[in-house]
Amino acid sequence: MEKKEFVCIGCPLGCNVAVETEGKDIKSITGNTCPRGADYVTKELTDPRRIVTSLVRVKGGELPVVSVKTVADIPRDKIGECVKALKEIVLQAPVCIGDVVVENVCGTGVNVIATKNVEKV
């Protein structure tokens, strides 16, 4: 039996939710005030995912970098790898919001897109 503590992010209350697990099985969830707490913790335990935002270099633009994001959340343990995958990329200005920067980043099936317009200078 393993015990883990989470702070639920569902609302400002921020319940401290305690979970007992055995292997991959969740044995008990306590401390949550509402069902959202249980859902949140289950997701965090079994498949935590995050949207990643970062930067990519741009050549010939009004700015030297452009902001980017994963269009959907990716597994949390891929965040570092995802940012690394952006390191060597250099875009040519102009860059438009929505331009795909990397397809299927780190095999997640999720694209990385530009989130800012960078005009050519």
Partner 1 sequence: MTDIIVIGAGVTGCAIARELARYDWKVTVLERASDVCEGTSKANSGIAHAGFDAVPGTLKAKLNVEGNGMMDALSAELDFPFKRNGSLVLCFDEGDRHKLQKLLEQGLKNGVKELRIIEKEELKSLEPNVSEDAVAALYAPTGGIVCPFLLTIALAENAAVNGVEFRLNTEVQKIEKISGGYRVTTGQGVLESRVVINAAGVYADRFHNMVSENKLRIIPRKGEYCLMDKKVGNWVTRTIFQLPTKYGKGVLVTPTVHGNLLVGPTAEDIDDYEGVNTTREGMEDLVKRASLSVEELPARQVITSFAGLRAHPVTEQEDFVIGQAEDAPGFFDAAGIESPGLTCAPALGKYLTAQVLEYLPAGARKDFNATRKGIPNMALADEEERQRLIRENPLYADVVCRCELVTEGEIMDAIHRPLGATTLDGIKRRTRAGMGRCQAGFCSPRTVEILARELDKDMAEIGKNDKGSEFLTGRMKEN
Partner 2 sequence: MKKDLVIIGGGPAGLAAAAAAKENGVDDLVIIERDARLGGILNQCIHNGFGLHTFQEELTGPEYAERYIKKVLELEIPCKLNTMVIDLTQMSESKKNAGSSKANDAAGSKLITVMNRQEGLYTIEAKAVILAMGCRERSRGALNIPGYRPAGIYSAGTAQRYVNMEGRMPGREIVILGSGDIGLIMARRMTLEGANVKLVAELMPYSGGLKRNIVQCLDDFGIPLKLNHTVVDIKGKERVEAVVVAQVDENSRPISGTEEEITCDTLLLSCGLIPENELSGNLGVDMNPATNGPRVNESLETDKEGVFACGNVLHVHDLVDYVSEEAAQAGKCAAAYLQGRLAGAKGEIPIRAVNGVRYTVPVCIDPHRMGETQVVRFRVGSVYKDAAIEVSFNGKVVSSRKKRALAPGEMEQIILKKSELEQFQGLREITFSVRQS
Q: 21 is in the binding site of which of partner 2, partner 1, none (Cβ under 5 to 8 A by kind)? A: none
Quote the least distance from Cβ 74 to partner 1, whole Å: 18
Tell me phi and psi for residue 60, to 5 degrees: 75, 20
For partner 2, the closer of residues 18 and 50 by Cβ is 50
Q: What is the Cβ-side half-sphere exposure of residue 70, based on CA atoms within 13 angstroms?
A: 24
Give the contacts of 120 (CB within 8 A, at least 6 positions apart): 60, 61, 62, 93, 94
| Contacting partner 2 within 5-64 (CB under 8 A) | 6-9, 11-14, 33, 50-55, 57, 62-64
Quote the least distance from Cβ 95 to partner 1, whole Å: 16
What tokens appear for 93 in the block? 């200005």
What tokens appear for 74 in the block? 């990716």
Angle at 81 (CA atoms; ends 96, 51), nearest 5 degrees: 55
Quote the least distance from Cβ 66 to partner 2, whole Å: 9
| Contacting partner 1 within 51-90 (CB under 8 A) | 55, 65, 83-84, 86-87
Name the nearest CA neighbour of 102 among 62, 66, 69, 60: 69
| Contacting partner 1 within 2-61 (CB under 8 A) | 55
- For partner 2, the binding residues (CB under 8 A) are 6-9, 11-14, 33, 50-55, 57, 62-65, 67, 69, 76, 79, 83, 97, 115-117
